[in-house]
Amino acid sequence: MASTNDIKNGTVLSIDGQLWNVIEFQHVKPGKGGAFVRTKIKNVVTGKVVDRTFNAGAKIDTANVDRRDFQYLYKDGNDFVFMDSTDYDQITIGEAVVGDAANFLLENQSVTVALNEGNPLYVEMPASVVLEITYTEPGLQGDRSTGGTKPATVETGYQIQVPLFLETGTKVKVDTRSGDYLGRVND
């Protein structure tokens, strides 16, 4: 058992049999009354985000979460196969656990997988990835300076919005948290 003084960003709490990841926390000491800790926590399984307040010094149950580096190998039906970068063991993770990360996964890509007692909780992607555009409408002459965008499909099958002048075959940097276009990548 830990206390609320041990709460940090990334700490995983076990509340009512469910695992919650701390996104934000703030220790508050009002002028009147006892101190407390205000947190924003995200359910590891469902992704639901809630605000939760704990009294200062209260006992909390933290979960033992092991974050390890894995390499994405391939997709097998609805499952994704990853290899541990340290001991080369392979694990299969279901589509529900991989979630939105599937939109940006390329073979041999390095990711961080959070494990609790050997069970994968979630897949953490790097902040951005480089993907090649596999299809987009051709750009028109003169479309270089306008701020317009058009849909483009990248090599993972995910669709993003890109500037009008980009063409099929161009490599682009994509934000894995929002799916936003960040820029063109020159080889």
Each residue of 147-156: pLDDT tens digit?
A: 778 899 999 9
- How would residue 146 be classed by pLDDT, with cut points 50, 70 and 90? low
Q: How far is CA 181 from the centre of its chain?
A: 16
Q: CATH number, domain at 143?
A: 2.40.50.140
- Single pTM value for the model: 0.71
pLDDT score recorded for residue 140: 65
142 in the same domain as 111 = no
Domain count across the chain: 3
Work out whether the CA dihedral 121, 102, 176, 128 comes out positive or negative.
positive
109 in the same domain as 74 = yes
Q: Is the separation of the CB atoms in 172 and 133 below 8 Å?
A: yes
pLDDT score recorded for residue 12: 86
Rounded distance between C-alpha atoms, residue 107 and residue 175, angstroms: 18
Rounded distance between C-alpha atoms, residue 80 and residue 156, angstroms: 13
141 in the same domain as 92 = no
Q: State yes or no: pLDDT of 111 exceeds 90.
A: yes
145 in the same domain as 119 = no
Look up the domain containing 150 and give its range.
128-185
14-52 pLDDT tens trace: 888 888 888 899 998 888 888 999 999 988 877 788 999
